[in-house]
Amino acid sequence: MTKTMLRALKGETLPTPPIWLMRQAGRYLPEYRATRAQAGDFLSLCYTPDLAAEVTLQPIRRYGFDAAILFADILLLPQALGADLWFETGEGPRMSTITDMAGVTALKGRDDIHEKLAPVYETCRILARELPKETTFIGFAGMPWTVATYMIAGRGSKDQAAAHKLKDTDRPAFEALMDRVTEATIEYLAKQVEAGCEVVKLFDSWAGSLKGQDFEDFAVAPAKRIISELKARFPGLPVIAFPREAGEGYIGFAEKTGADCVAIDNSVSPEWAAEKVQAGRTCVQGNLDPKYMVTGGEELVQATKRVVEAFRNGPHIFNLGHGITPEADPENVTLLIETIRGK
Ligand code: CP3
């Protein structure tokens, strides 16, 4: 029997949607915190294949999710391209910055990333072997715009001002950076697939700050290029695209880019996404507000049923609208799954 997640990605409407959660391996789980402590820090965890595979498996063992996502980070790719990367405790990622064409030119080439990323591919091989046969294995990368926002600013930012400034004042450097990241992303994802990933997900967390033609040029066009190249190399490979907070930009995104599924954040209602994006035929993933995983109770049950109900007339993969937060209660994940699958 084909895995439920792969069936949904092929466009099948299922009586019960497959379920997984963004950041399902994460700090809300005591077993994750223990393994991270064993590794020393987050980046060491990402680069230690046995431990990265272990944390990927933890939520599968605990909850029986329909899919597992590789444990890694979107910022490992820019690090492999030559950026310095570290995490400030309690604050988030920090990187060396790229501010001009010289910075872009100094980056490594697309074929020079694999030595640094070899442990990630090894994690994939372990997981391809060890995951339960009904669990779908998802690989991922950040989309060029989102990755570039960190490479340009050297950190996360609410409005991505530094990246917008480079885009608007030094277009050649910005476009050269986007090209470099796009090309490296294709090679990175191809290696993940060769190492056993069955699906890839493209995270464009900051797509929402690209407006009008910029959204077409720097969210849609790179997605289309990455997806068509991957599908040329791996015919039939399912791809999930997540242009977070795209709003109206979600409409037609799958058709324009060739994605098999569009992940929807929780700034839009499930009813709107069902009508405008899923439209009875396009696979959508989402979009419960992660806050319910903290608050739980009857509100969680009702909000979950609303999402399932809204998307029941087309292909749907249940997920949150963004990653589960460290404050989430592991018991609420059990309640979520029971609500969707029935006890
Ligand atoms: O979903 C998964 O569980 C798979 C692994 C994964 C991580 N990060 C692990 C992680 C994935 C798919 C990501 C994607 C990622 N990383 C994105 C895109 C998705 C999104 O959340 O919008 C972004 C923007 C990043 C960059 C990043 N990594 C930030 C901004 C942070 C700090 C914020 C935070 O939550 O601490 C990280 C750290 C990070 N990546 C953690 C995890 C489990 C927390 C690290 C820890 O254990 O302290």
Q: Give the fold, CATH level 3, of 71-263.
A: TIM Barrel (3.20.20)
- 34-69 burial, b for 16+ CB within 10 Å, e for fewer? ebbeebeeebebbbbbebbbbbbbbbbeebebbbbb
pTM of the predicted model over 0.90: yes
Sorted by where each begins, the domain ranges of the chain are 1-24+283-343, 71-263
pLDDT digits (tens, 9 = 90+) for 13-31: 999 999 999 999 999 999 9
Binding residues for substrate are 23-27, 73, 150, 205, 322
**Distance from the CA of 319 to the center of ligand 1, in angstroms?**
16
Q: Is the CB of 42 under 6 A from ligand 1?
A: yes
Contact predicate 27/71, CB 8 Å = no
Ligand 1 pocket, mutate which of 21, 23, 204 (most atoms under 8 A from CB) = 23
- Tell me the per-residue pLDDT of 278-298, one tens digit each, with 9 for 90 and over: 999 999 999 999 999 999 999
pLDDT at 158: 85
DSSP category for residue 212: T
Q: What pLDDT does 90 receive? A: 85
pLDDT score recorded for residue 224: 98
Helices (H), 82-136: 101-105, 114-130
For residue 43 and ligand 1, the question of a CB distance below 6 A is answered with no
Q: What is the DSSP letter of 132?
A: -
In this structure, how many other beta carbons lie within 10 angstroms of the beta carbon of residue 123? 28
Q: Quick one: angle between helices 171-194 and 144-153, nearest 10?
A: 120
Give this complex's ipTM.
0.94
Q: How far apart are CA 70 and CA 55, in angstroms?
A: 9
Return the pLDDT at 89.
86
Q: In this predicted structure, what is the pLDDT of residue 236?
A: 97
User: How close is the Cα of 280 to the center of ligand 1, in Å?
Assistant: 32
Q: Which atom of ligand 1 is nearest to the CA of 326?
A: 35
Active-site option among 121, 150, 188, 250: 150
Residues comprising the chain, all counted:
343
pLDDT digits (tens, 9 = 90+) for 51-69: 999 999 999 999 999 999 9
Among residues 335, 143, 115, 133, the alpha carbon closest in space to that of 240 is found at 143
φ/ψ (deg, to 5) at 32: -65, -45
- Write the Ramachandran bin of 334: left for phi over 0, alpha for psi from -120 to 50, otherwise beta: alpha
Query: Structure tokens of 230?
Result: 């991957």
Low-confidence ranges of the chain (pLDDT < 70): 1, 343
Q: Is 73 marked active-site? A: yes
Known catalytic residue at 171: no
- Residues annotated as binding site? 23-27, 73, 150, 205, 322
Sign of CA dihedral 166, 189, 226, 317: negative
67-69: strand order across its sheet: 67-69, 136-142, 199-204, 239-243, 261-263, 283-288, 316-320
- Measured between its terminal Cα atoms, the distance across the chain in Å is 23
Find tokens 């990368």 and name the residue.
141
The pLDDT score that the predictor gives to residue 93 is 97
